[in-house]
A and B are shown apart, each in its own frame.
Chain A
Amino acid sequence: MLVLVIVIMFVIVIAIVNETMFSTLGGTIMNRTLCGLIVLAIATGCGGQASSPPAQQPAATTSAKKERLEIGVVPKGISHQFWLTVKAGADTAGAEFNANIRWQGPDKETEIDKQVNILEDMISRRVDAIVMAACDENGLTNVIKKAVEAKIPVITIDSGVKSDLPVTLVATDNVAGAKAAAHELARLIGNEGEVGLMPFIPGAATSELREQGFKEALKELPGLKLVATLYCQSDVAKGMNVTQDMMTANPNLKGIFAANEPGAIGAAQAIKAAGKAGQIKLIAFDASDEEIQMLKDGTLQALVVQNPFQMGYQGVKAAIDAIQGRPVEKRIDTGVTVVTMENFHQPDIQKLLYPLGK
């Protein structure tokens, strides 16, 4: 039993050291591992130690409180390059304006409840401001209300909420971005033919707005016929499956618009496996390393690239303006750029594609 206690303490010490030394990864991952190990460890004993280890955790987090402003940045997920670029932007702004950035997010974009918990913890911790991308446009309104009542300004980035409480929304105009995608797809398939749409999660604001923008643009493009709308659930394997089904149900399919990165990778794999690379034109949002590789090897013809670095940077900047009482615009657009192999090598495009360096 003593051994178990030592093991638990050891894990916690590693977690604390890890968090202070490499705060880049965010606490969530570590917490997760920690929880798992504690469950395992407690389970092997008789459960008598259950009360002590969790009590150690808050001590580890509060000890870091300092004089500098502390800004909590909560992405929708932590495992896509998009969010890592947001983090780079937030960190840059943090360094520039002398603020500590506390980066924490749910593992997956579907985990609304986990995101609420993270925000509640940040409110209890009394961070100076919260910069967040909402996993759901309705599900986060209550916790945002709680933050505002606690006098913590909330800045939304990337995905907003259906509420006036946030100071601002720093995001891509997703409707305009999806419209640009539809027009580019029309150009690629010669303004005529059947097309498929792959949004990611029904109910998620970004997904819905891109779906809306694409469908609105199709009204201006009478040659294009939308034959399928299937969701990839932000999962590569599911994106692959639905693309195969789309191609099976519609043998004359000429183009697909994948509204996010996992969907794009899945669609590209399915198109490649079917030997139809280049025949079915694929256009996708975002620009991860995999997507750029697919653009280069021709499975994917165009990328609608957002500016996640600016979202992180402008989000933190707006937070600091709000804390210090300066006015902030209600909507800050970070813009999109359509990247094809034609403009790929231009220096400004390269900087947009590789904000973290190659």
Chain B
Amino acid sequence: MRSILARHSPLVILAGLCIVVAVLSPEFRTADNLKSVAYRTSVVGIIATGQILVILTAGIDLSVGSVAALSGVVACTLMKNHALPVPLVIGSGILTGLICGLLNGFFAAKGRIPPFIVTLGMMMAARGGALLLSGGRQISAISDTFAIIGGMRGWWIPVAITLAIAAVFSVMLTFTRFGRALYAIGGNLNAARLSGIPVDRMRIGAFVLCGMLAGFAGVMLASRTGVASPNAADGGELDAIAACVIGGGSLMGGEGGCVGTLAGALIMNVLVNFCNLKNINPAWQKVLVGALIVILVYYDNLRKRRAGLLKE
């Protein structure tokens, strides 16, 4: 029982937080508000789902926020200037993310450069690319069909997409050779290599999927806000990393999962939502969220250590 609790602690923390917030703020309990929180978590939830794949391999992807912005700009430019049909627009965004992810993965795995450095470069280059391509302007993304994936025709669509993505990747991590290899690589890279896992290919795969998800999230963000902005998802990479870590991921690799990550993203958004509902000074919001990230991860580690789950 205890170990089950420890394994799913992000969900327990989320539930606890929701109960506390619901008691303190009657507005939080309203259906509209819960919908709104679920809905706004979709973009960061998808980015974080990609991020956890890379974090599992003991890597990190700092470029996801910029890649999301670039993908949104690419997709909306194509839609506006070339009247591309919506599925192709979405596809072009995912493709942009795929290319960025492939470059990241190639240089990190084959080039043997620390992922931090590679993705730092990509973070700057992709942001610059987004600014260049858009000429620094916001690109209008108003189209009735395009608005669907961002939830302008029903809040549940992005939420359902996010849950579906998390479910698919959760199953992939648990049941496929690829998923298990990611845990093995993060656990011990050399051991994984010696046991015959094609380490480089698996790592590239993680970066590619991460890039694709960031690309898709960028398109979804543009659809939601009605504009593709070259400055969109600024700091998105840090939100995603925070979500992974709150959700039980370890930057040392080998630990974490999609369900926990999604819970982590929700925990952050519930907190910010609560502060907004209570009209709390934005400076205090930052203090509160920052402190809670550290406290939650600290307690999570403590519980895991007690349950004997932590890698020392």
Contact = CB atoms under 8 A, between A and B. Distances in A.
A241 B272 contact: yes
A79 B282 contact: no
Given A236-B227, A265-B227, A40 B107 contact: yes
A80 interface: yes
B226 A79 contact: no
Interface string A104-121: 000110000000000000
Contacts of A272: 152
Contact of B226 (A31, A241, A269): A269
A44 B113 contact: yes
Contacts of A108: 231, 234
A79 B229 contact: yes
Interface stretch (A181-189, A209-217, A223-231): A223-231
A248 B231 contact: no
Contacts of B225: 236-237, 240, 265-266, 269
A78 to B, nearest CB: 5
Q: Which bracket fits the contact residues of A?
A: 35 or more
A316 B175 CA distance: 65
B107 A44 contact: yes
A150 interface: no
Contacts of B134: 79
A244 B117 contact: no
Could you tell me the dominant secondary structure of chain A's interface residues?
A: helix
A60 B233 CA distance: 32
A14 B281 CA distance: 46
8 contacts: A36-B125, A37-B121, A40-B118, A78-B131, A242-B276, A249-B277, A265-B225, A290-B138
Given A230-B276, A236-B227, 18 more contacts: A25-B136, A29-B128, A30-B128, A37-B121, A39-B120, A39-B121, A79-B138, A79-B230, A84-B136, A235-B231, A241-B36, A245-B277, A249-B277, A269-B226, A273-B155, A288-B138, A289-B140, A290-B138
Interface of A: 25-26, 29-37, 39-40, 43-44, 77-81, 84, 107-108, 202, 228-231, 233, 235-237, 240-242, 244-246, 248-249, 262, 265-266, 269, 272-274, 288-290, 293
Interface of B: 27, 30, 32-33, 36, 40, 43, 103, 107, 111, 113, 117-118, 120-129, 131-132, 134-138, 140, 142, 151-152, 155, 221, 224-227, 229-234, 272-273, 276-279, 281-283
